[in-house]
Amino acid sequence: MALKFYNTLSRKLETYQSIRPGVTDLYTCGPTVYNYAHIGNFRAYMFEDILRRTLAYCGYTVRQVMNLTDVDDKTIRDSRAADMDLATYTRTFTKAFFEDLDTLNIEKAEHYPAATDHVPEMIAMIDTLLDKGYAYVGDDKSVYFSIERYPDYGKLARIDLSQQRSGVRIKADEYGKESVADFALWKHWDDDDGDVYWDSPWGRGRPGWHIECSAMSVKYLGNHFDIHTGGVDNLFPHHEDEIAQCEAATGEKFVNYWLHCAHLLVNNEKMSKSAGNFYTLRDLIKKGFDGREIRWLLMSAHYRQHLNFTLEGLSAARSVLRRIDDFVVRLKELSAEGDAGLDLATDVVEVSRLAFRKGLEDDLNMSAAIAAYFDFMHRVNKAVDEAGLGGNAIDLLLNFCREVDRVFGVIHLGSAEPSVPAAIQALADERLAARRLRDFDRADSLRDDIHAAGWRIDDTPKGTRLVRVSRS
Ligand code: AMP
Ligand code: ZN
C-alpha cells in the first residue's frame, strides 16, 4: 500500500515520497488575524489536520509550520479603525484562533511563526532577489518582483501571462511598477500604514503578504521541503508568488507536493467575510452545536470537493456521532470475560483496518475511511447480537476504535458521554425514586423535563444512562 496525493503542480495523483525517510515537512498557510476565522477557513485547517494525522498514522514524523499573518492591509486597516496598536489588536484574534483549534480538536503544528517576528528574514530574502536581478525598486520606492525576469512564473497555476492577473492583492494606485503583473515584495510606507513600519535598505515600509510565507517556510523547513497546502484561493497568486520568490532566491526547487482544498460553500457561493455569508465557529457554538459536530461536518467530505454548509448538515453530524458514541458505550457495557469471539474480532479488525487505511491512502478519501468504520461497527454489532463477545475481543475492538480516532479525532473513548450536569442528574435521581414508589405519572413527567433540557434517559440492564440529544 502507498500513500497517494493529488499534486496541484502536476495535476496528477502521485505516490507520496518524502525527502527524508520517515519525516514529512509540511507548510500550511495560516490565518490573517484581523478577525475571528470563519468555518470556511476552518475547512482548510481541518483538511490540514486530517493530512497531518494521516501522515502520522502512516508512520511519518510530521514537522508542520503554520504562519500567522499579523501584518497586512486588513490587519492595519482594522486596527486603525479600532484605534488600537497593531500588536494589541491582532493578539485578541490570535488567541481566539488557538481556542478555536482546541474546540475543533485540531492538532497543534510544531511552529506558528508570526510575520512581525520575521521581518529581518523577509528583508534578507528581498535583498537576495534584488542582488540576483529578479526584483527592482519601483518609482514609488516599493520593491517589486519582476515576472518578466523569471520565466518559470505561472507553473503552478498554469496561467497565461499574456492575460492580466486577476484577484491580486495590490492597490489600484500602485503605479510604481514596471508591469501590472509584478507583485510587491516590500511596500513603501504611506499614510494608511500609520505607525506600522520597519526600517529597511529601501526606506520605511512593510513586507508584502507573499514574502511572509516564503521567508518563514524556508527559515523553518529549509529551501526544499515536502508538502505545502492551503485553500484553492491561495493557489494564485499567493502560492505562485511563493514559488517564484523562493526558487529565484535559493536556486532550488521549493516544494515537492502542493495540496489544495476546495471551498466551503453557502448556497453554492464561497463562504467569505467579504460576501458576508459566513459563520464563525463561535456563531455555531452559540446555536447549540459543539466542536465535535462541526469537526465531523468539515472532515467528512473529500477535501477536493466543494462542501455546501447547512445547519441541517450539522444536525446530521450530531446523529452520526450519537451512533458512534452508542457503539462504544455498548461495547463497554458488555461484561463477559474470556476469549469468546476473539477470532471473529481479530478478523473484523484486520479487514476494517485495511479498508480504513486504503481510504486514507487514496488522497485522503474520508468517505471511504468513514465507510470502513461504519462497516466495522455493523459487523461488531452483528457479532454481539449473534454470538456474544468476551473481554479480550472487546479490548481488541476498542483498541481499533482508538486507532481510528488518531485520524478522526471525534470518538469518545474515555468517558463515552459528555459529563451530566448536576441539575439533570438530580432530575434523573428523582425520576428513579418516583418509579420505585410506582408513581409512573411523576416519573414520565420528569423524563419529559429531562428531554426538554436536551438529555435522554436510557434504561439499560446496568441501570439508567443519560445521553445528550439534539436540542433542535
Ligand atoms: P485567509 O485568512 O483569507 O488567508 O485564509 C486562511 C485559509 O482559509 C487559506 O488557506 C484559505 O485558502 C482558506 N479559505 C478561505 N475561505 C475558504 C472557504 N470558503 N473554504 C475553504 N477554505 C477557505
Ligand atoms: Zn501563505
Read off the pLDDT of residues 344-355 as tens digits, 9 standing for 90 and up.
999 999 999 999
Give, rounded to a whole angstrom, the gap between the first and last alpha carbons of the chain: 44
443 against 178, higher pLDDT = 443
234-282 confidence digits (pLDDT tens): 999 999 999 999 999 999 999 999 999 999 999 889 999 888 899 999 9
C-alpha cell at 151: 520565466
pLDDT tops 90 at residue 168? no
Percent of the chain with pLDDT over 70: 94
**C-beta atoms surrounding 331 within 10 Å:** 21
C-alpha cell at 47: 483538511
Cα 249 to the center of its chain, rounded Å: 30
Least confident of 16-25, 28-37, 317-326, 387-396: 387-396
pLDDT at 290: 95
pLDDT at 181: 85
Enumerate the β-bridge partners of residue 230.
260
147-159 confidence digits (pLDDT tens): 999 999 999 999 8
The three-state secondary structure class of 291 is helix
For 374, phi then psi, to 5°, come to -65, -40
Per-chain residues with Cβ under 5 A from ion ligand 2:
29, 213
pLDDT tops 50 at residue 166? no
pLDDT at 351: 98
Percent of the chain with pLDDT over 90: 78
13-38 confidence digits (pLDDT tens): 999 999 999 999 999 999 999 999 99
What is the Å distance from ligand 2's center to 238 Cα? 6
Residue 192: what residue type? Answer: D
pLDDT tops 70 at residue 299? yes
pLDDT at 427: 87
pLDDT at 139: 92
CA nearest neighbour of 237 among 141, 116, 147: 147
* CA pair distance 342, 254, nearest whole angstrom: 50
pLDDT at 170: 47
The three-state secondary structure class of 289 is coil
Q: Is 9 in the pocket of ligand 1 (CB under 6 A)?
A: no
Residue 201: what residue type? Answer: P
pLDDT tops 60 at residue 327? yes
pLDDT band at 175 (very low <50, low <70, confident <90, very high): low
C-alpha cell at 311: 445547519
Sorted by sequence, the CB contacts under 8 Å of residue 394 that are 6+ apart come out as 331, 332, 334, 345
Residue 79: what residue type? Answer: S
pLDDT at 450: 87
The DSSP string of 137-205 is E-TTS-EEE-STT-TTTTTTTT--TTSPP-S----TT---SSSTT-EEEEEEP-GGGTT--B--TT-SE
Ligand 1 atom, smallest distance to 270 CA: 19
Q: What is the DSSP letter of 239?
A: I
pLDDT at 167: 44
pLDDT band at 162 (very low <50, low <70, confident <90, very high): low
Residue keyed to cell 468539515: 298
Q: Of the residues 34, 49, 68, 234, which should be mutated to test ligand 1's pocket, given the most ligand atoms within 8 Å of the CB?
A: 234
Ligand 1 atom, smallest distance to 234 CA: 12
Mean pLDDT, range 386-392, rounded to an integer: 87
Q: What is the DSSP letter of 271?
A: -
Q: Is 38 in the pocket of ligand 1 (CB under 6 A)?
A: no
Least confident of 191-205, 236-250, 422-436: 422-436
pLDDT tops 70 at residue 415? no
* CA pair distance 319, 339, nearest whole angstrom: 33
467 against 124, higher pLDDT = 124
- C-alpha distances out from residue 111 to 65, 77, 94, 220, Å: 5, 27, 14, 8
pLDDT band at 173 (very low <50, low <70, confident <90, very high): very low
The three-state secondary structure class of 290 is coil
Of the CA atoms within 13 Å of residue 19, those in its CB half-sphere come to 17
pLDDT band at 227 (very low <50, low <70, confident <90, very high): very high
pLDDT tops 70 at residue 471? no
Give nearest CA residue, ligand 1 atom 9. 231
Give nearest CA residue, ligand 1 atom 8. 41
pLDDT tops 80 at residue 124? yes
C-alpha cell at 137: 525598486
430-464 confidence digits (pLDDT tens): 898 888 888 999 999 999 988 888 788 887 665 67
C-alpha cell at 28: 500550511
Mean pLDDT, range 419-440, rounded to an integer: 83
Q: Is 263 in the pocket of ligand 1 (CB under 6 A)?
A: yes
Q: Residue 72: nearest ligand to its CA?
A: 1
pLDDT at 172: 39
pLDDT tops 70 at residue 416? no
